[in-house]
Amino acid sequence: MEFRKPSSPLRGEITVPGDKSISHRAVMFGAISHGTTRVTNFLQGADCLSTISCFQKMGIVIENTPSEIIVHGKGLHGLLPPADYLDAGNSGTTTRLISGILAGQNFTSCLTGDASIQSRPMGRIITPLSQMGASIESIRGNNCAPLKIQGHSLHGIHYDSPVASAQVKSCVLLAGLYADAPTSVTEPFLSRNHTELMLAHFGAKITSHQTTATIQPEPTLHGADISVPGDISSAAYFIAAALLVPGSEVLIKHVGINPTRDGILRVCKDMGGDIQLLNSTTTGGEPTADLLVRHSSLHGTVIEGELIPTLIDEIPIIAILAACAEGTTIIRNAEELKVKESNRLRIMVDELTAMGCDIEETEDGMIIHGGKPLHGAVIDSRLDHRIAMSFAVAGLAAEGTTQLLRADCVNISYPNFYEELAKLTE
Ligand code: S3P
């Protein structure tokens, strides 16, 4: 696919697809609850469809209709042994959260995924689940998937997580549903709290205090209605495009702005971005708003510490913004980026360098000396959806043509991304 500077500003309204993290959880928690869970604005991306297919393989009936997903839950102990490997595809959330549930079942299961999943670290869930008494093994012995999980009764633990990861926290809390005593997780900084909010909505006894979440075992979970807000991680590309293309004004409707996810808004404002929040409301404990974004002159900033988990998936697009901003942007404490769907630190540095940006990789982040005009280049997405979308936006700000290879991977989180971007640039 090719991208170049649009001939006119970006104008109009856009609704982004449902939040990926919340869509996954709605299906998972619905499956282990009693009764019916109805999910509207579910993200029909490949990752969330992997979650659906894993639970269907364990006997859960899930109807995927044009207006909603209907999950016919069977309770905490209602899953059936899968006849075959569970396939998480490209999805780290599916792999890590489902492992917590599988650890508490009375059957053995095997879990795998694509080449990216098979190289991502699973030691971070094997360690706490093993402490809880689970038998979970990396089949190739490299602490990656495929995983073999022999479920049985678990012990409640307190786990001090070395990483601020919602996937690790959620995995341990879900296993805690099947434990013999309360389970708590403390993380270095608070990561996204959708699990805590949504499990409470399904009837779990779960409390949060600062960076610790605690769950009581064996609750009776009941099906619930979930209305999924628009995904701020998907909105981020349109926020960036509107900020970068002169004259633009874009209204992004009904976006989730949970404070554990809204770091992109804080950083953009800090860089001088004109973003207004309109029609703020709360659905199922998740705050949402419409975002009105106008083209702005941006300047560099520093991004580090507790801010990092609130914008972890947005760092690639923030790097594009920083490349186009005046002055220097420093990103620290972002080493987690090396173990996402791809090594996002390395790839952002390599590909932005190819576009003429003055950027250097550091041990835990990057330093971007912004303001040098970007020029088009040939960019390979490495099959990472967020790399693809970030460079599609970079292409709108660069001189000449940016050619994006393996662009189709956006189907992971935003199947009609390019069509929506084209509509705003028409
Ligand atoms: C997610 C948590 C984050 C994020 C991922 C989705 C989730 O991963 O990067 O895209 O749904 O819990 P980590 O928990 O590994 O940081």
Give me the pLDDT at residue 152, please: 86
pLDDT, residue 71, reads 98
How far is ligand 1, taken at its centre, from the CA of residue 4, in Å? 31
Residue whose Cα lies nearest atom 16 of ligand 1: it is 165
**Global confidence as pTM:** 0.98
Question: What are the residue boundaries of the structural domains of the chain, listed by start?
Answer: 2-17+229-423, 20-227
Q: For residue 163, which atom of ligand 1 is closest to its CA?
A: 16
Q: How far is the CA of 12 from the centre of ligand 1 (A)?
A: 30
Q: Is 313 in the pocket of ligand 1 (CB under 6 A)?
A: yes
Atom of ligand 1 nearest to the CA of 21: 11
Question: Residue 193 phi/psi, 5° resolution?
Answer: -110, 30
Nearest CA to ligand 1 atom 9: 313
How far does the centroid of ligand 1 lie from the alpha carbon of residue 312, in Å?
Answer: 8
User: Does 10 sit in the ligand 1 pocket, CB within 6 Å?
Assistant: no
Q: Does the C-beta of 191 come closer than 6 Å to ligand 1?
A: yes
Counting other chains too, the contacts that 278-283 makes at CB distance below 8 Å and 24 or more residues apart are 278/251, 283/227, 283/229
For residue 312, the ligand 1 atom closest to its alpha carbon is 9
CA-nearest residue for atom 11, ligand 1, is 21
Pocket test for ligand 1, best of 192, 306, 314, 342 (most atoms within 8 A of CB): 192
Q: Which two tokens stand for residue 352?
A: 């932005």
Cβ of 345 closer than 6 Å to ligand 1, yes or no, is no
Atom of ligand 1 nearest to the CA of 164: 16
Amino acid at site 333: N
Q: Does domain 20-227 have CATH number 3.65.10.10?
A: yes
Say if ligand 1 is within 6 A of residue 336 CB.
Answer: yes
Q: Is any ligand 1 atom within 6 A of the Cβ of residue 165?
A: yes
Q: Is 312 in the pocket of ligand 1 (CB under 6 A)?
A: yes
C-beta 21 within 6 A of ligand 1 = yes
Task: Report the SS3 class of residue 45.
Answer: coil
Closest approach atom of ligand 1 to CA 339: 15
Which residue of 94, 308, 310, 312 sits with most ligand 1 atoms within 8 Å of its CB, as the best mutation to test the pocket?
312
Structure tokens at 140: 């190739």
Check residue 151 and give its pLDDT: 93
Residues catalogued as catalytic: 313
Report, as ranges of residue numbers, the positions in the chain whose pLDDT lies below 70: none
Cα 12 from chain centroid? 26
CA of 426 from ligand 1 middle (Å) equals 33
Helical pair 344-354 and 385-397, crossing angle rounded to 10 deg: 20
Taking the centre of ligand 1 as the mean of its atom positions, its distance from the CA of residue 375, in whole angstroms, is: 32
pLDDT, residue 425, reads: 83
CATH superfamily, with its number, for domain 2-17+229-423 = Enolpyruvate transferase domain (3.65.10.10)
Instruction: Evaluate whether 2-17+229-423 and 20-227 have a shared fold.
Output: yes
CA 166 / ligand 1 centre spacing (Å): 6
In terms of C-beta density within 10 A (0-12 exposed, 13-18 middle, 19 or more buried), how is residue 419 classed? exposed
Main-chain phi, psi angles of 169, to 5 degrees: -55, -45
Bridge-partner residues for 253, per DSSP?
15
CA of 165 to the centre of ligand 1 (A): 6
Alpha carbon distance 251, 306 (integer Å): 28
CA of residue 326 to ligand 1 center, whole Å:
30
Nearest Cα residue to atom 13 of ligand 1: 165
Q: Which residues contact 355 (CB under 8 A, 6 or more apart)?
A: 323, 374, 375, 376, 377, 379, 394, 398, 402
The verdict on whether omega for the bond into residue 146 sits within 30 degrees of 0, i.e. cis, is yes
CA 125 to each of CA 221, 301, 358: distance values in angstroms, whole numbers, following the listed order: 24, 34, 37
Cβ 122 vs Cβ 109: under 8 Å:
no
310 lines ligand 1 (CB under 6 A): no
Q: Does ligand 1 come within 6 angstroms of the Cβ of 95?
A: no
How far is C-alpha 95 from the geometric centre of its chain's CA atoms?
Answer: 13
Q: Is residue 350 within 8 Å of 322, Cβ to Cβ?
A: no
